[in-house]
Structures are given as structure tokens and as C-alpha cells.
């Protein structure tokens, strides 16, 4: 570890000057005066929107949701079913019971029969004719035409190329090589190439000089721009605009918070005034005037009216019950007069041991008790 190595000094940052401190308080006061109405308007809008949401928007949303669930959804389902029944099902029936049978039995079946019974045998016959007659005849005609073409055209052309055109081409190639190509090549290698190299060297040196001059001019222009434009702008931004922006942002933040406190205090004062000017008198009137009047109306007017209505209802129900009973009695008497009284079937006891009382309505005290279930007793019991 190197103990002799000293840490690099920290960058110096200048503190706030007295001018900034003097300007800060007036700027914040001015910003507060400007921001306070905006903050109060903002708080009023927020409160109004909350009241609007609570009083209007939420009930409206619930009403719309109820309307959608109760009215629009059943109506939409009914319309969808009606659309399917009117537009889809007829086309499905038309396709399934009209188009498919017509196409299957009117077009496809005849085409299949025509293909299997007519076109397939005809195709087989044409294939036999092609393989047996046309292919041998075509091969013979092709061989004859090929031989005639070879004799009349190929052999003359081959002789003309081999004995006339090829010697002429060799002579022409020798003449072109020695009279044109070799002089042109000598001129290129010994005249044009040195001249081109000299021209390239001249233009290369000229380009290097122009590039050096351009680099010098560019460095001078960059130095002038940095010295006359960038550095002043950077100094103005760092020492004027940035502090002013920070102070304005801080002033706006502080003013916004102070305006919030003031707006809240004004709101509480307005609420206190509204309660003492409107709420308290209305509450006093409700408790002192409306409540006794309501109790008097309930006890002196509404209770007798309600009691009379209940008595009238009971009387009407009694009258209706008596009328229904009279109608039932008259209907029963008319039915008995037409059909006769109902027949009553006499109930008789089961035959068997007198001591067994299962299923009977009477008992015999003098008889000894017998088992209710006996395997050796009568197998059957006759009913009367």
C-alpha cells in the first residue's frame, strides 16, 4: 500500500452568493402570488370533480351497468338469436337440404358415372392407339427427317466451317495480333503507364496540401467557435441560467406547498362559514320545527288514517272471504244436486285371531295376546 500517494483534491464548488440570497425571497413572494390562484383553482376543481364523481358519475355508471345487464344484454341475445334464426339457419337449411343434394345427385354422380363409364374406356383406347400406332410411326418419321436434315444441312455446314471459315479466321487472328494488338500494348506499357503514374503523383501531392490547409482552417474555426460562442454560452448557462432555473423551481415548489396550506385554510374557513350560516340554522329548524311537526302529523294524522285503512282492509278481506265461502258452498250444493251425495265406504276389521290387534282400531281385553307375526298362522288374510 502506497502511503505517500495523496488523494486528488476535490472539485471546488462555489457557494451561493449574496445576490442569490437577496433575490431568493422576492422571487418566492412573486411566485407565491402567481401560484396561489392556480393552486386554489386546482383544489376547487379537485373537490368539484370528487363531488361530481360521488353524486353523478358513480350513480350514472351503476345505472348504465344495470341498463346493460338488465336490458341491453337480453335484447342483444334476443337480436343475436333472431339474426341467427333469420339469416343463418335458412342458409344452413338451403345448403344442407337443397344445394348439397342437388350438387351430389345432379352434378357429381352423373360426372362420376360419365368418367367411369365413358371417359376412362375412351382414354384407355386412345392410350393403346398412341402406344401401338402413333409412337412407332413417329419414331420412323423422326429418323427419316433426322437423316435428311443431316445430309442436306449439317454436312455442308461442317465442311464450310472446317475447310473455309477456320483457315480465314486463323489468318485474320495473325494479322490483328501483329498489326493492332502488339502496337497498342507497347504504347500502353511504355507511354501511357509512365504518364499516368506522373499524373497520379501530382494529384496526390496536391490533395495532401489541400488537406493540410483544410485541417489548419478547421482548427482555427473550431477555436474561434469555442472561444467566441461555446464558452460564453456555457458560462451563461452555468452561472446564470442554471441558478435562476434552480431558484425558480425551488420557489415554485415552496409556493405550491404554501398555496396548498393557504387553500386548505381558506377551504376550512369557508366550510366553517357555511356550517354557521347555513348548516347550523337548517339543523336547528329541522330539530326544533320539522321534527315536532312530523311527529304531530305522524301521531295525529297518519296514525288514524293508517288505522282506518287497516280496518277497511280487514273488512274488505272478511267480505271477500265470506263471498268466496258462499261461492264454494253454492258450487258444492249444485254439484251434489247434479251428481248426488258422495258414497261412504264402511271400514271393516281384518279377519283373524281376536288377540292380534295389529292394524285394528279396537282391542279385546279378555283374549290372550298373540304374536303379531306368525309363520304357522293363516297364510292369507281376506280383506272385507
Nearest to 28 by CA among 240, 258, 237: 258
For residue 337, what pLDDT is reported?
77
**Residue 192 CA from chain centroid, whole number:** 75
User: How does DSSP classify residue 281?
Assistant: H
Residue 123 φ/ψ, nearest 5 degrees: -65, -40
For residue 366, what pLDDT is reported?
54
Q: Is 14 exposed, middle or buried, given 0-12, 13-18 or 19+ CB atoms closer than 10 A?
A: exposed
How many residues does this entry show for the chain? 384
User: How does DSSP classify residue 366?
Assistant: T
State the pLDDT confidence band at 377, using cuts at 50, 70 and 90: very low
Give the mean pLDDT of the chain: 81
For residue 356, what pLDDT is reported?
52
CA distance 184 to 169: 21
Q: Is 126 exposed, middle or buried, given 0-12, 13-18 or 19+ CB atoms closer than 10 A?
A: exposed
Q: Which value, in Å, is the radius of gyration of the alpha carbons in the chain?
A: 61
Q: 259-289 pLDDT, tens per residue?
A: 888 888 888 888 899 898 988 899 999 999 8
Show Cβ contacts of residue 349 under 8 Å, excluding neighbours closer than 6 positions. 360, 361, 362, 384
Q: 30-75 pLDDT, tens per residue?
A: 777 777 788 888 888 988 898 899 989 999 999 999 999 999 999 9
Locate the DSSP E strands across the chain. Answer: none
For residue 217, what pLDDT is reported?
93
Q: 164-203 pLDDT, tens per residue?
A: 888 888 888 888 888 888 888 888 888 888 888 889 999 9
For residue 12, pLDDT over 50 is answered with: no
For residue 384, pLDDT over 50 is answered with: no
CA distance 167 to 160: 11
State the pLDDT confidence band at 134, using cuts at 50, 70 and 90: confident
CA distance 267 to 43: 9
For residue 334, what pLDDT is reported?
79
CA distance 198 to 144: 71
Q: 73-116 pLDDT, tens per residue?
A: 999 999 999 999 888 999 998 998 899 989 988 899 999 999 98
Least confident of 16-20, 21-25, 285-289: 16-20
- If phi > 0 it is left, if psi is from -120 to 50 it is alpha, else beta; for residue 137 that is alpha
State the pLDDT confidence band at 378, using cuts at 50, 70 and 90: very low
Amino acid at each position: 500500500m502506497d502511503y505517500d500517494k495523496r488523494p486528488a483534491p476535490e472539485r471546488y464548488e462555489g457557494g451561493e452568493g449574496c445576490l442569490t440570497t437577496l433575490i431568493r425571497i422576492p422571487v418566492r413572494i412573486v411566485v407565491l402570488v402567481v401560484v396561489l390562484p392556480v393552486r386554489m383553482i386546482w383544489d376547487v376543481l379537485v373537490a368539484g370533480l370528487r363531488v361530481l364523481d360521488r353524486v353523478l358519475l358513480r350513480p350514472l355508471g351503476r345505472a348504465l351497468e344495470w341498463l346493460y345487464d338488465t336490458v341491453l344484454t337480453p335484447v342483444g341475445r334476443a337480436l343475436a338469436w333472431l339474426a341467427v334464426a333469420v339469416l343463418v339457419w335458412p342458409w344452413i337449411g338451403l345448403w344442407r337440404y337443397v344445394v348439397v343434394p342437388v350438387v351430389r345427385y345432379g352434378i357429381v354422380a352423373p360426372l362420376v358415372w360419365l368418367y367411369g363409364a365413358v371417359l376412362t374406356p375412351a382414354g384407355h383406347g386412345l392410350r393403346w392407339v398412341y402406344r401401338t400406332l402413333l409412337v412407332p410411326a413417329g419414331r420412323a418419321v423422326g429418323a427419316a427427317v433426322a437423316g435428311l436434315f443431316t445430309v442436306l444441312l449439317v454436312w455442308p455446314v461442317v465442311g464450310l466451317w472446317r475447310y473455309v471459315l477456320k483457315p480465314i479466321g486463323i489468318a485474320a487472328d495473325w494479322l490483328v495480333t501483329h498489326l493492332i494488338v502488339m502496337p497498342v500494348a507497347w504504347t500502353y506499357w511504355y507511354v501511357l503507364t509512365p504518364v499516368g503514374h506522373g499524373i497520379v503523383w501530382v494529384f496526390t501531392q496536391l490533395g495532401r496540401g489541400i488537406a493540410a490547409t483544410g485541417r489548419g482552417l478547421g482548427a482555427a474555426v473550431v477555436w474561434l467557435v469555442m472561444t467566441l460562442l461555446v464558452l460564453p454560452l456555457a458560462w451563461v448557462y452555468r452561472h446564470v441560467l442554471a441558478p435562476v432555473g434552480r431558484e425558480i423551481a425551488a420557489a415554485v415548489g415552496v409556493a405550491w406547498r404554501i398555496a396548498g396550506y393557504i387553500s386548505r385554510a381558506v377551504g376550512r374557513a369557508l366550510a366553517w362559514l357555511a356550517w354557521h350560516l347555513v348548516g347550523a340554522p337548517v339543523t336547528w329548524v329541522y330539530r326544533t320545527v320539522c321534527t315536532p311537526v312530523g311527529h304531530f302529523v305522524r301521531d295525529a294524522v297518519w296514525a288514524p288514517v293508517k288505522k282506518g285503512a287497516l280496518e277497511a282492509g280487514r273488512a274488505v278481506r272478511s267480505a271477500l272471504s265470506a263471498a268466496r265461502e258462499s261461492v264454494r258452498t253454492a258450487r258444492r250444493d249444485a254439484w251434489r244436486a247434479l251428481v248426488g251425495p258422495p258414497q261412504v265406504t264402511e271400514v271393516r276389521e281384518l279377519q283373524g285371531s281376536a288377540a292380534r290387534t295389529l292394524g285394528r282400531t279396537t282391542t279385546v281385553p279378555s283374549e290372550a295376546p298373540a304374536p303379531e307375526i306368525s309363520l304357522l298362522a293363516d297364510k292369507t288374510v281376506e280383506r272385507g
